[in-house]
Every structure is written in C-alpha cells, then in structure tokens.
Amino acid sequence: MVDKKKSLEPDSYTLESAYGSVTPSATPEDFDKIVDAAKDGKAEDTVRELQKG
C-alpha cells in the first residue's frame, strides 16, 4: 500500500506461461467421458429441481 491506498499491478503470468502448469489427472484425457459426466451431473440437477415442484 502506498499512502494508505490499495493498488493493483499486472501479474507476470500470461496464458502462454501458465499453459501446462497443471497436469491432467489422466493422460491422455478422455474428453468424451468428461463431457458425459458433466451432462449427467446437469441432468441430475435438473431432475432435483423439477422434483421440488
């Protein structure tokens, strides 16, 4: 803080420098499986909402 004022400064990371910094849980990733799991989760949420009435 300078003179009791908060300031923000740009981060030194870029998209390019951060790429690959997190390793996938499985190599290669099975994107079809990931998409299916996301759709199943959304469907379950929708069913719960509809059951609430």
pLDDT tens over the chain, length 53 residues: 557 888 888 878 888 888 888 877 777 778 899 999 999 999 999 999 999 97
pTM of the model: 0.48
Angle (nearest 5°) at CA 27 between 23 and 28: 120
**Count of all residues that appear for the chain in the document:** 53
- pLDDT over 70 percentage in the chain: 96
Q: Where are the domains of the chain?
A: 24-52
Burial 9-48 (b: 16+ CB within 10 A, else e): eeeeeeeeeeeeeeeeeeeeeeeeeeeeeeeeeeeeeeee
Q: What is the pLDDT of residue 48?
A: 95
